Amino acid sequence: MTSWSLAVGFQSFCVQNYPGGLDTLVQEILPRMDHRLILEGLLKIAEKFASPTHVGPKFVADFDGLTDAEERALRQRDTYEKVNYLMEKLGIT
């Protein structure tokens, strides 16, 4: 497992388990959107999670150790939808 897949797995864990859910996470990030590095980081995340078959959701399924094709597809789809929701609420699409 690469350091990138570990980082993506950690990010996914945070998105999946943030106290208060995604809307609370959005409210935590919004006041920081004027910071150039925050925006750059979010744009990179959005790029990696642009679809359920992009590298981000694939790395999440790898991080979770999923080998069953149906389970992987469901996890990739769920991860994509949550990250996409987050990005839409932050105005990054």
Name the DSSP class of 35: S
Among 3-12, 16-25, 43-52, 53-62, which is the least confidently predicted range? 3-12
Query: For residue 63, what are the domain limits?
Result: 3-89
Band of residue 66 on the pLDDT scale cut at 50, 70, 90: very high
* pLDDT at residue number 32: 92
CA distances from 86 to 52, 81, 83 (A): 15, 9, 5
Number of structural domains in the chain: 1
Q: Which two tokens stand for residue 50?
A: 């642009």
How much of the chain, in percent, has pLDDT values that exceed 70?
88
- Helix, strand, coil % in the chain, rounded to nearest 5: 75, 0, 25
The pair phi, psi for residue 54, each rounded to 5°, is -70, 170
2-39 residue pLDDT tens: 565 556 666 777 788 888 999 998 999 999 999 999 89
This prediction has a pTM of 0.85
